[in-house]
Each structure stands twice: as structure tokens, then as C-alpha cells.
Amino acid sequence: MNAPANWPCLRIDTRGSGKQSHTRVILDCSISPNAPKTEVVGWHDGALRLRLAAPPVDGAANDALRKWLAQQLGVPQSQVELLRGAASRRKQWAIDVAEATVHHWLASLPALRN
């Protein structure tokens, strides 16, 4: 299955210029904590809708989501940064990974298939 040209939850952020440029993927997520298991369940207002098997207490949900995203995309946790939404269900993550990797991952998710 080919990924659509534009996933609503995804954008690219490029900082710097020339040899100092750095590109990362920005992923918008809508989270439902305290789920039986962590899984993508679809879309919510342009964000990737996830059920998360972690409580929203003392940053546990953010830590669990960072670990899960890193595992799903095959990157170290240090390459997954929470940009916005530390205390909110709506979160924005910056991930140092190739855009094609995220496109492939999103296209492989059963909950996002038509």
C-alpha cells in the first residue's frame, strides 16, 4: 500500500541551512490513557489517535509514549522529543527519523487503512 502524499498528522521541520541543516518529523497525536494496550485506533481532528497503556500520572504516559514511538519507528528514545502537550491529551512529538520511515509505518497500521 502506498502512503498518501500528505498524512494529516505529519509534517517536516527543517532547521538551519547548508551543512548545519537538520530535518525532523513532527507528529501530532491524540491520546487516551489507561487503555488495556497501546495501539493506534484511527484519527481525531487531524491527529493520530492512540490508546495508551499507561496512566496520565507524573509523566508516565509521556514516557510510555516516547518509548513506544521510538520502538515503532526503530530509533533511540533520545531521538523522540515532546514539543507540546505534556499535560494534555493532544501532543506534538519531534522525531529524528527519515520521513519515508514514518510514511511506511503509518501505511502499515491496520487502523488507518480504508
Q: What is the pLDDT of residue 114?
A: 64
Q: What is the pLDDT of residue 77?
A: 98
Is residue 4 a part of any domain in this protein? no
User: 3-class DSSP state for residue 51?
Assistant: strand
Is residue 33 a part of any domain in this protein? yes
Is residue 92 a part of any domain in this protein? yes
Is residue 2 a part of any domain in this protein? no
Q: Which residues contact 18 (CB under 8 A, 6 or more apart)?
A: none
The domain of 43 spans 10-112
pTM: 0.89
pLDDT digits (tens, 9 = 90+) for 74-95: 999 999 999 999 999 999 999 9
Is residue 57 a part of any domain in this protein? yes
Is residue 1 a part of any domain in this protein? no
Is residue 43 a part of any domain in this protein? yes
Residue-level pLDDT, tens digit, the chain, 114 residues:
333 447 999 999 987 677 766 789 999 999 999 999 999 999 999 999 999 999 999 999 999 999 999 999 999 999 999 999 999 999 999 999 999 999 999 999 999 986
- Count of the separate structural domains present in the chain: 1
CB–CB of 113/1 below 8 Å? yes
Kindly report the CATH number assigned to the domain that includes residue 35.
3.30.1200.10
